[in-house]
Structure 1
Amino acid sequence: MFNSRVYPILVPLQSALVLCMDVGFSMSNSSPGEESPFDLSKKVIQKFVQRQVFAETKDEVALVLFGTDATKNPLEQDEQYQNIVVHRHLMVPDFDLLEEIEHQIQPEGQQADWLDALVVCMDLLQKETQGKKCDRLNIVLLTDLCTQVSPDKLEVIIENLKQAEITLQFFLPFPVEDAEEGHGDGEQRDPGHPGAGKGLSREQQSGLEMVKHIMLSLDEEDGLNEVYTFRNAIEQLRMFKRIERRPMAWPCQLTVGSSLSIRIVGYKAVTEEKLKKMWITVDAQSNQREDVKKETVYCLDDDNETEVQKEDIIQGFRYGSDIVPFSKVDQEQMKYKHDGKSFAVLGFTKQNLVLRHQFMGSQVVKIFPPKDDEHAGVALSALIRALDELKMVAIVRYAYDRRSNPQVGAAFPCIKQTYECLIYVQLPFMEDLRPFAFPSLENNKKICPSETQLSAVDSFIDSMMLEEKDENGELIDLLKPHHIPNPAFQRHFQCLHHRAVNPGAPLPPLEPWLQAKLDRPEVIKERCQASLEEIKRKFPLTEVEKKKKLKTSAQIFGKDSKEASAEKGKEDEAEEEYNLADIAEGSVTSVGSVDPARDFRTLLKQKSLPFGEACQQLTHRIEQLLSNKNTQYYMKSITCIQAFKEQSVKMANADLYNSYLQSLKRSIPSRGLEVFWDLLVQDGVTLISSEEVSGSLISKNEANEFLKAEEIKQEAAAPQAEDTGDVDDLLDMM
């Protein structure tokens, strides 16, 4: 049987709200060391308007002040409704209102009847909402109730509030509960309670009785729940409001094979929330967008910087040393083309085979039948209930429209008391999975932990568990993610508001309440101290001083280079330290093109290739890099040459390196690599001298002179063809 369902509301109605704030002289009175009621009430309306501005709602807000020196409202006549000002009429709140609250609203020197201010707010709401579709009319009144109020019009006001369906909220500097306990003049309230201090005056007691009468007349059961204290309101309003988005309907056909088709409508249930950053470039002095003019010019990379028109430019992708042109026509032809929106069932599988870590994408879509199609509702309900009974999911092909690429995903059955639906979650393709395999850490005896060390870490993990037992012995969570706002959003909005109202001041620090939310709970801090001390004892840290490398006998007396290399290798192996990066990079079999210097060092460390063959592979990569006349490739080549020299010194074999560098220098003019040679000279990469390797035939002076540029006589002859014979001969020799 077709069940009734709850569908998302597509067109939310706006609400209208009037903030009515007391700015009379009594609001500035406070006990020493406490904030005045005026400061607290100003914070309340600031926080509320901030939330409305950053939530980008269409709700309209007005601001009425009473207790002002001036009078400006539509009802002022015959000395009535005095000292009441309509500061701002109903409109969507913006940064201008925030700036006015910050700088223009100040304590004033008069007192006004808060019932008169309430009547002005009611009149403003009724007149300025005519012709508008508002789902809620609300008045928020912030006062300390210190003024004498005439109750003559009280019943008329209550009746008008009911007829106009206006809801009312009061914000006071003291809680209603304290007043109900019978505090009179001179009596002291609990000093730990917010708003503690002197007892209520006669005016406040009388005003509070009227407040309770109004609220209970409007709502007998929950009327007093709409009376708040300033401090409680600030605590509840300190988090910025979540941006509300209107769900858009996505009509489509759910197909199972070629013969079964069901009309459906999809709504985004969960999606990634992103900040609306409308950054624009403005002049730093005038802050005006019009003062900044942008002009883009395309030029060739030649001596004259020849200008090129935008129409003559296409995209190009680097493939090795070549540039592959790729025009917009090519891009359009490359795009995957399909028939448009789709929600086709490809098959079914068990729910336990679709693992949680395989969920992808940034959204979850709920699938309902159309509201006016009972047959589609019956068919979709049957599919949902069948999937639920069999504990299965549908694997579907999802395409939002013709322009988007299709996805593969899982449609889970969801049955609630008020509705049924399918919940779609994107799944990965084969190429999206990255199965990484890492060697076991237990194979290295040098770092294998002992049983006592493992036990210490286990106890530390247990002490950091974010749960504790309550009074009934049941485990409760210490960290409640649903109660923690996104700190990036909160900080962003805090800084935006501060910069809007204080353009020249530095940004404020992170708000204390948000910092407290991000810190570890105090219970966890205390609980893990003992475990941390145990870990310090079980895993002592000692500073390791590297010993200076002494010259070997081979370097002093000129022993056979192979024997010296073998001894050197044993010494390096003994001093080799454990490195997680070496394990992760796996086995290197040749000098690659991504990081040839690292591959060269790894090959020599693993001793998987003879030194001469590894050098040949490295110089081959250097020649490939130098064929791309680009600074980026030049720097990569220099890194390779530095690695070549470093390893040659370690192996006490300078011949191959010196021969290659000398032949490379001879080929510089004919190959046009002067820029590369200048970079090499700047880095001071020269030949290996006999002081570095005893078998070298190059003296210290010759190595220093090697980098000095040779004066080449320019002859008026035709340029010779590129000659890399010396380099090729050297590669053949190696």
Structure 2
Amino acid sequence: MAPKVYDGAIIILDIGRNVSQAAEKDKKSFFTEGREFVSRLIERKIMSQGRNLLGLILLGSKKSENNMAKQCDDAFRHIDMAVKLQEPTWQMIRNLPELPTKSRGDWMEAIIVAVDHFANGISGIKFSSKKIILVTNFMSPTCLEENDIERVTNGFKEDNFELDVIGLDLLDDSLKEVDIELARRIVAISNGATASFKDAMRYLLFHKKKIVHSYPWNVDLSIGPNIKIPVSSYIRLKDEPAVKNWVTAIKDPVTHAASTTEGIVKSKVHVNTENQTVIDSNAVISGYHYGQQIIPFTECDQSFLYNSGEKCLSVYGFTQSSNIGWQNLHGDGLHYIFARKGNKKAQYAIRCLVECLHEMGLVALVRRVYNKGNTPKMFALMPVIDNDNYICLSMAEICYSEEIKYMTFPSTTLKRFECTNHEVDAFKELIRAMDLTKAYDETYDDTEAFPIAETVSPAVQYVLDCIAFRAMNPDKPLPEPRDEIMMLFKAPPLVAKRSKEPLNKLKKLFTLTKIEKKKKEKTEAIEIFEHNNENEENIKMDNQTKEPVPLIKLPIASSSRITNIGTIDPINDFKILIDSGKTLTDLFSDMREAIENLVYCNLDGTYRKALSTMKFLRAECVKADPLPYNNWIINFKKALIARKKDDFIDIIHTNKLDVILKEENELSLYDNIDSCDDQLYENDTVPDCTELTMDQEINDLFDNM
């Protein structure tokens, strides 16, 4: 089996005494800027999801943990191989040192340690590139002799290592130190790069998309019954989410750590609802709901389904390119079609087809079936001629007639809509002022703003920022989009400055009148329910006649319409029904039902209304007859225990809503609360004991009933 190919990189971060001090007052130290750069670089490597192996060496560390220090005494000191080559993780960022040390290390020796780790520290892996990223200010000079340095430079040539120096721009001619000259020489020999922190962080400003090698979709382009051209289709544009593949992890409730090797076991069974028996999956017939009826769909019925056939790309015909507008295109991507690699006849045929379509102004309509059994779709093949790079066909999906939305707009050819030459020139002036190809002055590298195929998506960048922030700060709220992302929504300063005068000119030429949206007239049904008891003399002015129209009013609902006690206002309902002539005995069942509904269906957990209703009912029973209340409260507590409503039982005891005692009403059968509790809990364990002594055959008999 061939070894996997990775991009290897080892970061050498200087954390010694020489990087602890800031160059200027109120500025960040070299250590702080270096740590921020390394954090951002590791984050970029993680989010790119590429084949990257990353290692970390701490230069100037208190430790001397490296393979070369074990082989050579009194050498390679204060160099710690903190992270061996591995896939980048968030833990690497968390483990970066917070403060610099008071030690110093040799940066050339750190490079030798990195080279040795590439050679001997990892096996079974093939590297497509081997990069060493050095982050130091060279204030701690190297102690190696010229012969050793020469061997290092020769090793860089032979093994194709690349050295990148970040922090100091080695191209700055004002830097004359000996170590910087040596670093320049190694960077030049290894075809490396150098940049200051400012330039490097600008490069890492936005997340980079994962580099994916396109796999072709090979098919024969059929034109009629006899012409078949072997072609390959590649995805050029695709509407994809920021992160396509999510790894499902289970969070341990004890350690709060996520694990990707554990999961929840799920099983699917088919149960007969009539007798609650499990049915074998092979005996199940699938079906579809058609209204309230289930239509079975057997394997025999599948033979009558529409079959799209084998994969194909067949030309149905040709049409003028003017017939295919942007409103006819559909789908979520664009494909490029090339002749099959290595087939010269197919390349010649595709070239002829592209040139013919271009000269005649035609577009081919094709039917595509991606694979056997997939839904067929219609596409348009359009010629693409790039003389410097390639000649091919672009393929975009087209929509069917049912998917087109036809919209009618008022005609703009009327005389009142005509513009004068002065007004047209004002618009042209605004268009020239808002030219994005000249949005910046000479101080910028590129004068174009938002170049095509180079501008990043603000939505994708913010999603990736949130993922990175959540990985490092699991308990904090997500931040607002950073300023660099918000800048993508703003007009460039030079464009805003140029367009200010043309905009003011247009405002003077075109006087805009604010149109207030008229409020919708209320229908008669709404007017009926708009009852106002206080302002009976208010009138409504009709919008057309401006004549007063009286409001339609309904009589207030009388209390005689209340026939039972509800849960909205049970106390008031009780009082109204008592006044109408009903007794406590008649209304007790309704009050009991209302209280139980308020407790069992409670959502907020406060039980405020249920508590006040119970207090009112108990007070009424104390004055009249305590027997109905006492009999109900015992059964009610049993039901609360069964439903595990222990919180409401505590509320009953706290507010003294238990049985009514003899001292409150002589008709009561209870002298104290204990006698009631004995009756409540005396048979608490009887069902469990009965279940244990019951024979298994009897249990099976009840299960089958």
Relative to 1, partners in 2 of residues 1:533 and 1:107: Cα closer, same or farther, differing over 3 Å? farther
What is the CA-CA distance between 1:339 and the residue it aligns to? 1.4
Relative to 1, partners in 2 of residues 1:267 and 1:458: Cα closer, same or farther, differing over 3 Å? closer
Contact 1:59 1:92 in 2 (8 A): yes
Relative to 1, partners in 2 of residues 1:392 and 1:214: Cα closer, same or farther, differing over 3 Å? same
Asked if 1:96 is matched to 2:66, the reply is: no
**Match of 2:55?**
62
Aligned with 2:155 (options 152, 157, 160):
160
1:125-140 counterparts in 2 under 5 A? 125-128=118-121, 131-140=124-133
Q: Distance in 1 between matches of 2:106 and 2:141?
A: 7
Matched position secondary structure for 2:466: helix
Relative to 1, partners in 2 of residues 1:702 and 1:205: Cα closer, same or farther, differing over 3 Å? closer
**Match of 1:344?**
314
1:645-724 counterparts in 2 under 5 A? 692=552, 700=555
**Match of 1:143?**
136
Q: Distance in 2 between matches of 1:442 and 1:373?
A: 55
1:439-518 counterparts in 2 under 5 A? 465=434, 467=436, 477-480=448-451, 482-518=453-489
Aligned with 1:176 (options 147, 167, 170):
170
Q: Distance in 2 between matches of 1:208 and 1:512?
A: 35
Contact 1:99 1:500 in 2 (8 A): no
What is the CA-CA distance between 1:534 and the residue it aligns to? 8.3
Relative to 1, partners in 2 of residues 1:287 and 1:383: Cα closer, same or farther, differing over 3 Å? same
Q: Distance in 2 between matches of 1:216 and 1:269?
A: 36
Aligned with 2:492 (options 521, 538, 541):
521
Asked if 1:80 is matched to 2:75, the reply is: yes
Contact 1:283 1:292 in 2 (8 A): no
Contact 1:457 1:535 in 2 (8 A): no
- Measured against aligned partners, the alpha-carbon deviations of 1:588-627 in whole angstroms (never above 9, x if no partner) come to xxxxxxxxxxxxxxxxxxxxxxxxxxxxxxxxxxxxxxxx
Q: Distance in 1 between matches of 2:371 and 2:217?
A: 10
Aligned with 1:115 (options 105, 108, 120):
108
- Measured against aligned partners, the alpha-carbon deviations of 1:46-83 in whole angstroms (never above 9, x if no partner) come to 22221221111112111111110010111112111111
Matched position secondary structure for 1:700: coil
Asked if 1:212 is matched to 2:184, the reply is: yes
Matched position secondary structure for 1:420: strand
| Counterpart residue type for residue 18 of structure 1 | I
- Measured against aligned partners, the alpha-carbon deviations of 1:467-509 in whole angstroms (never above 9, x if no partner) come to 475789xx97544354432222222222222222222333333
**Match of 1:6?**
none
Contact 1:399 1:405 in 2 (8 A): yes
Aligned with 2:342 (options 346, 356, 372):
372
Q: Distance in 1 between matches of 2:483 and 2:520?
A: 49
Relative to 1, partners in 2 of residues 1:109 and 1:575: Cα closer, same or farther, differing over 3 Å? farther
Q: Distance in 2 between matches of 1:340 and 1:541?
A: 60
Asked if 1:354 is matched to 2:349, the reply is: no
1:557-596 counterparts in 2 under 5 A? 571-573=542-544
Relative to 1, partners in 2 of residues 1:336 and 1:548: Cα closer, same or farther, differing over 3 Å? closer
> If you compute each CA radius of gyration, which structure gives the higher value, 1 or 2?
2
Relative to 1, partners in 2 of residues 1:383 and 1:295: Cα closer, same or farther, differing over 3 Å? closer
What is the CA-CA distance between 1:357 and the residue it aligns to? 3.3
- Measured against aligned partners, the alpha-carbon deviations of 1:317-349 in whole angstroms (never above 9, x if no partner) come to 575xx5565758699578541212111111122
Higher relative contact order by CA 8 Å / sep ≥ 6: 1 or 2? Answer: 1
Q: Distance in 1 between matches of 2:418 and 2:362?
A: 44
Q: Distance in 1 between matches of 2:546 and 2:430?
A: 33
Q: Distance in 1 between matches of 2:546 and 2:320?
A: 54
**Match of 2:392?**
421
Matched position secondary structure for 1:500: helix
Asked if 1:28 is matched to 2:23, the reply is: no
Relative to 1, partners in 2 of residues 1:217 and 1:527: Cα closer, same or farther, differing over 3 Å? closer
Contact 2:5 2:125 in 1 (8 A): no
| Counterpart residue type for residue 82 of structure 2 | H
| Counterpart residue type for residue 343 of structure 2 | D
Please give the root-mean-square deviation of Cα atoms over the aligned residues, in Å: 4.7
Contact 1:64 1:86 in 2 (8 A): yes
Asked if 1:233 is matched to 2:200, the reply is: yes
Q: Distance in 1 between matches of 2:195 and 2:47?
A: 24
| Counterpart residue type for residue 206 of structure 1 | V
- Measured against aligned partners, the alpha-carbon deviations of 1:375-417 in whole angstroms (never above 9, x if no partner) come to 3333333323332333322211111101321111111233444
Contact 1:283 1:291 in 2 (8 A): no
Matched position secondary structure for 2:180: helix
Q: Distance in 2 between matches of 1:356 and 1:330?
A: 43
Contact 1:282 1:292 in 2 (8 A): no
Asked if 1:272 is matched to 2:239, the reply is: yes
What is the CA-CA distance between 1:298 and the residue it aligns to? 10
Relative to 1, partners in 2 of residues 1:507 and 1:393: Cα closer, same or farther, differing over 3 Å? same
Q: Distance in 2 between matches of 1:362 and 1:70?
A: 54
TM-score, reference length from structure 1: 0.62
Q: Distance in 2 between matches of 1:300 and 1:442?
A: 70
What is the CA-CA distance between 1:98 and the residue it aligns to? 3.1
Matched length: 528
What is the CA-CA distance between 1:235 and the residue it aligns to? 1.1
| Counterpart residue type for residue 154 of structure 2 | E
Relative to 1, partners in 2 of residues 1:287 and 1:175: Cα closer, same or farther, differing over 3 Å? closer
**Match of 1:384?**
354
Q: Distance in 2 between matches of 1:139 and 1:208?
A: 16
Q: Distance in 2 between matches of 1:513 and 1:145?
A: 32
What is the CA-CA distance between 1:145 and the residue it aligns to? 0.4
Q: Distance in 2 between matches of 1:299 and 1:131?
A: 52
Asked if 1:437 is matched to 2:430, the reply is: no
TM-score, reference length from structure 2: 0.64
Contact 1:456 1:538 in 2 (8 A): no
Aligned with 1:401 (options 365, 368, 371):
371
Relative to 1, partners in 2 of residues 1:432 and 1:707: Cα closer, same or farther, differing over 3 Å? farther
Contact 1:19 1:62 in 2 (8 A): yes
Contact 2:321 2:361 in 1 (8 A): yes
**Match of 2:639?**
none
Q: Structure 1 vs Structure 2: percent identity of aligned residues? A: 19
What is the CA-CA distance between 1:532 and the residue it aligns to? 7.4
| Counterpart residue type for residue 9 of structure 2 | L
What is the CA-CA distance between 1:705 and the residue it aligns to? 5.8
Gaps of 5+ in 1: 1-10, 183-203, 550-554, 556-566, 577-649, 653-690, 694-698, 712-734
Matched position secondary structure for 2:95: helix
